[in-house]
Amino acid sequence: MAATEHEVVRSELRWAAAVSVFVVIIFGLTLFAALALHRNPPSNLERIDPKTLHLTGEFTEPNLGTRVEQNGQVTTRIVATQFAFIPPCVVVPADREVTLRLASPDMIHGILVSGTNVNTMVVPGYVSQVHTVFRTTGNLLMPCHEFCGLGHSQMLARVHVVPAQDFRPDAEGRVSCEAQ
Amino acid sequence: MDSTHNTESRRVDLDPQQPLALREVPSGAVALGGIAVLLLLIAWILIYLLIYLPRGMIG
């Protein structure tokens, strides 16, 4: 009985040590992913006027969809609006870095691309941007994952990932689902 | 005053009606808590290794 209090303290310290080891392991793996594998939450602070994004600038209708920029960078621009993505289907190449840029003119939306780590909110007034590399080809679903109104469940787009040799931009660098 | 007397008197001062089972280190609770936390850690690592890492880079 004499050692009871001592034993309690000792077991508390052991428990604290074990939990500390777990925290260090999880923190270490998170740091490893962030620093060595360059996996970070999408963060892009870029303002855009939601009232005029469809009239001027990069989110006008002719600019939407996938385009290969002058420097070879593949950029996909999508407008998320109640209750659709414009365009509803985008083509991206496999095994090549793709930049997804999204904006909303009305209210908060969100996207994820099934089977990938792509996941971001689309907030009016800001441009959401995600860099990623799609490793598997095929059709991936891209639903809105932020409740945005009665038609939220119908808000769905398709990401068509094609092999690099089938990714053929036109003269202006655009690639669309219809042309594939 | 030795430590034995000190520990004994403090315990009695705190709660003379304390059940005997609670005066000992609750090894069953430690085991249960340990298993629960270990299962959580294993689940976290499995999701990290089998789902998060294969899904590719983002940034």
- DSSP letter string, B15-57: -TT--HHHHS--HHHHHHHHHHHHHHHHHHHHHIIIIITTT--
Statement to judge: residues A7 and A50 lie in one domain: no
Rounded to a whole number, what is the distance in Å from the CA of A150 to chain B's nearest CA? Answer: 31
Q: When comparing pLDDT for A9 and B22, which is higher?
A: A9
Indicate whether A79 and A104 sit together in one domain. yes
Task: Name the pTM for this structure.
Answer: 0.77
**Pair (A135, A103) in one structural domain:** yes
Which candidate from B30, B41, B59 shows the least CB-CB separation from A11? B30
Mark whether A141 and A67 lie in a shared domain: yes
**B58/A132 CB distance under 8 A:** yes
* Range among A131-135, A155-159, A172-176 rated most confident: A155-159
Q: Which two tokens stand for residue A68?
A: 């290969």
In chain B, which stretches have pLDDT less than 70? 1-25
Stretch A148-155: mean pLDDT, rounded? 94
Same structural domain, A18 and A82: no
Given an 8 Å threshold on Cβ–Cβ distance, is B7 in contact with A6?
Answer: yes
- C-alpha closest to that of A104 among A177, A155, A40: A155
Based on the fold, state whether residues A88 and A168 are members of the same structural domain: yes
For residue A157, the cross-strand partners are: A142
Pair (A23, A51) in one structural domain: no
Quick one: A68 and A152 in the same domain?
yes
In three-state secondary structure terms, B3 is helix
At residue A39, the pLDDT reads 81
Residue B1 confidence (pLDDT): 42
User: For B44, which of A26, A39, A40 is closest by C-beta distance?
Assistant: A26
- Specify whether the CB–CB gap between A94 and A103 falls below 8 A: no
Residue A97 gets which letter from DSSP? Answer: E
Facing residue for B58 by CB, picked from A25, A39, A115: A39
Say if residues A67 and A169 touch (Cβ distance below 8 Å): yes
**pLDDT, tens only, A54-112:** 898 899 999 999 999 988 899 999 999 999 999 999 999 999 999 999 999 999 999 99
Classified as helix, coil or strand, A55 is coil
Candidates B25, B35, B37, B47: best to mutate against A (most CBs of A within 10 A) is: B25
What ipTM was estimated for this complex?
A: 0.72
* pLDDT, tens digit, 9 for 90 and up, residues A13-53: 998 999 999 999 999 999 998 888 888 887 788 899 999 98
Which positions in chain B touch A37 (Cβ < 8 Å)?
53, 57
CATH of the domain at A93: 2.60.40.420
Structural domain boundaries, residue A110: 46-175
Same domain, A132 and A147: yes
| C-alpha separations of B15 from B3, B12, B23, B24, B58 in Å | 19, 6, 10, 14, 57
Q: Is A19 helix (H, G, I), strand (E, B) or coil?
A: helix
A12 touches chain B (CB under 8 A): no
pLDDT at A45 (0 to 100): 85
